[in-house]
Amino acid sequence: MFRRSIRTEMVNDIKTNVNIIDVREPAEIKATGSIKGSIKIPMNQIPSNLDKLNKDEEYNILCQSGNRSLQVAKYLHKQGYQVVNLMGGFGAFRGKIDYEL
C-alpha cells in the first residue's frame, strides 16, 4: 500500500480504467459532488461490501481529506487488496465534479 497525490488527468482519462472508491457519507457527496465513475461505499460499509471488490485490481481510496481513506486503505490492504490512499482527498481534486449519487 502506498499514497498517491490525486491527479486530474488520472481520473479524467477514461482509458486509464482507474478504480476509485469514495468512502465519504452520502450527505457529503451530495453536498460537494464526487469524481465521475467512482465507487461510492461509505467507510462503515466497507467490510460488508468486500464481495464487490476484486483482489486482482488496484483501488484508489478517497475521502474528503485523506484521513478516513487512509484507515480504509490499511484495512483493505490487510484483507489482501491492492490499494492506494489518495492524499489530500476530494478537497485536493481540481477536475470535473459530478453531482449524481
Give catalytic residue positions.
63
CB burial of residue 67 (10 Å; 0-12, 13-18, 19+): exposed
Residue among 39, 89, 44 nearest 59 (CA): 39
Interatomic CA distance for residues 61 and 71, integer angstroms: 10
Q: Are 39 and 55 in contact (CB under 8 A)?
A: no
Q: What is the dihedral of CA 11, 12, 15, 18, to 10 degrees?
A: 10
